[in-house]
Structure 1
Amino acid sequence: MQDLWVFGYGSLMWRPGFEFEERRPALLRGYHRGFCVFSHVHRGTPERPGLVFGLDSGGACRGVAFRVEAARAEATRRYLQEREQVTSVYVETTKAVELVDSKQRIEALCFVVDRKHPQYAGALAFERQVEMIAAGEGQSGKNPEYLESTVRHLEGAGIADAELNRLWCAVEERLRQSASSR
């Protein structure tokens, strides 16, 4: 039995929900972080879906890698399956990930989006993303909070993402407009 590495790129970065031995900045090549999943549970409902991140093919994604000691690896894997596979929109896989601070390559557990799943949103227009994120709310809270937390944690990790910052500004503006029109 060996230690388990887990790659986080969205809410796992700030709310992993499992014990880990170390947390390191990491880079996954061949996939990018995108609002490409209709959320029917955590940040929306089937009637009013929100949007959540998925690892979609193409590009590269900066995130974090968590090392879980071998004794907790199986329990951590089960926890993540329950958390990430509520509607089976993600595929559990192992990918080569680079630890940014050492250039070391490791194998990490990743959850990539299943493009054939009905909740796969693909590349939505910017305004549609703003609309859905501003209105989404599910079991884990409001969709705008999910976006804001991701933006803040990326900034805290020294990861610049101009497009996510632009999206967050547009969602904030939409929320302000909605509040002032009530």
Structure 2
Amino acid sequence: MAQSEEQVPNQDEFWLFGYGSLIWKPPPHFDRRIPGWVTGYVRRFWQASQDHRGTPTAPGRVVTLISHEYWSTLTDDPHPSPPDNKVWGVAYRIEAAHVEEVKEYLDIREINGYTIHYTPFHPASELHPDRTSTTSPSGGASDEEVLSRGQHPIKTLVYIGTPDNDQFVGPQDPQQLAEHIYKSQGPSGLNRDYLWGLERSLEELCPESGDEHVRDLMEKRDVRREEHEQHGAFARRGSVNEVRRSVRVG
């Protein structure tokens, strides 16, 4: 990825871009959290998860970033690219004293098919109300000063599961994908909670930060949940009726 001098951070800065669970489950030791976006990608639930939201025998699904160049060659993805080619998320600043520790933590957390890349991050025009602090103990630039840089993006590290990694599953029928997410779970919890957490977190960033791919899967997951609950209620009613018949026969 091309990098301009404007995008190279200070030596004591380490910025991380989160577009999946990192939005609501941040890394340790961050002192700033800034909402914004990257361009040149689409976000898709096309990465298998054997270690967090699934198992080796029944992998779940988590998001990865797909380069727009690669995505544009596909003919079987029903979801469009995001408006203005923006993939929303958050950037975290890690102080120099904790950089190595946090990178080691992330290498373990993102080990299942993800590799390190760098991309320019564009801060949103307004700060998220839940930001942690405007100035760091080291006296670095405040969030307002970062945002006032205008057209100058921030160089961020990002973990991406590229199409050539073993866990990449590629395009899937949205209904089948939603059903797969609904039934999957792993050491980090239910796969559907990951989907729900992502949709909720994106909606909380700003009015235009939603993702149609995520939203559509969420709507299909809700339908799947309703069907599951109705089936469960029907099964319970059937069991009660069987018990009543048994009582009458007895």
Name the counterpart of 1:35: 45
Higher fraction of strand: 1
User: Would the aligned equivalents of 2:28 and 2:102 in 1 still touch at CA under 8 Å?
Assistant: yes
Per the alignment, residue 56 of structure 1 pairs with: 66
Name the counterpart of 1:174. 224
Runs of 4+ in 1 over 4 A off after TM superposition: none
Describe how 1:87-166 pairs up with structure 2 within 5 A.
Answer: 87=112, 89-101=113-125, 102=147, 103=150, 104-158=152-206, 159-166=209-216
Alignment of 1:44 onto 2:60:
no
- TM-score when normalising by structure 1: 0.92
Structure 1, unpaired ranges of 5+? none
| Residues 115-151 of structure 1: CA deviation (Å, up to 9, x unaligned) | 1122101121111211211111001000110000111
CA deviation string 1:23-60 (max 9, x = no partner): 11121111221101011121112222211001111154
DSSP-derived class of the 1:48 partner: coil
Give the unaligned 5+ runs of structure 2.
Answer: 1-10, 69-84, 126-146, 233-250
For residues 53 and 34 of structure 2, the distance between their equivalents in structure 1, rounded to whole angstroms, comes to 27
Specify the SS of the correspondent of 2:26: coil
CA 1:60 to 1:123, structure 2 compared with 1: closer, same or farther past 3 Å? farther
Over aligned residues, Cα RMSD in angstroms? 1.4
Equivalent pair of 1:49/1:132 in contact (CA under 8 Å): no
Q: Deviations over 1:97-121 (max 9, x none)?
A: 2122234311111011121122101
Match of 2:99 in 1: 73
SS of the residue aligned with 1:51? strand
State the structure with more CA Rg. Answer: 2
In the TM superposition, what whole-angstrom CA distance separates every residue of 1:65-90 from its partner, at most 9, and x where no partner exists?
A: 011111111111111111111x3x11
* TM-score normalised per structure 2: 0.68
CA distance in 2, matches of 1:146, 1:48: 16
SS of match in other structure, 1:23:
strand
Pick from 10, 13, 17: which aligns with 1:7?
17
Q: Identity of counterpart residues, as a percentage?
A: 32
1:16 is aligned, of 26, 33, 42, to 26
Q: What's the secondary structure of 2:153's corresponding residue?
A: strand
The one-letter code of the counterpart of 2:44 is G
